[in-house]
Structure 1
């Protein structure tokens, strides 16, 4: 094996990469994932959820030092809300975070990253 290279993290793919997935596997995963609108983050989400959450929490609810720029579903994520037949675009199911706090929370709540 070439120094510093690892096998692609996609099960069964033998391609050597510096880290993570090879480009063809990344492209396949992204295609399966669908567009943001297909995942439920379309106009209704932007106009209702995101705006409502950022209006409710203009300052990050975690650090309280930076403006909120991210509307985070919390404590349940979007999939959990849908599974419970709750409206995932209702701002009561969200909190406003700054980008660094959102990244830290994603790392804590979704070990392995957003695509795990």
Structure 2
């Protein structure tokens, strides 16, 4: 089996006025790593992805100034796409990823490097 949690870079970076959001996203990491240890004996994997700013309705709802500040903080200089996030999920769900468990993988254009 495969379990893939979708968290957020807020789990690593936090965010002004987003304590509840960052806490819930951080909690997914602890839960996933606990489950990864518990389910490993059954050959199930549990991983977490951390999307950054992604071009979705939610991401487009930010005020333009805030959205631009996010984009300016991304080393790759743009928002991610749904397809880029989905391709990682597809890989982690595949047999090819059967030896990856307990991983926390950012999909954020480099925002969380060094954290």
**Structure with the larger RCO, 1 or 2 (CA within 8 Å, 6+ apart):** 2
TM-score class, shorter-chain normalisation, is: under 0.3
Q: Rg: which structure is higher?
A: 1
Give 1 or 2: higher helix fraction.
Answer: 2
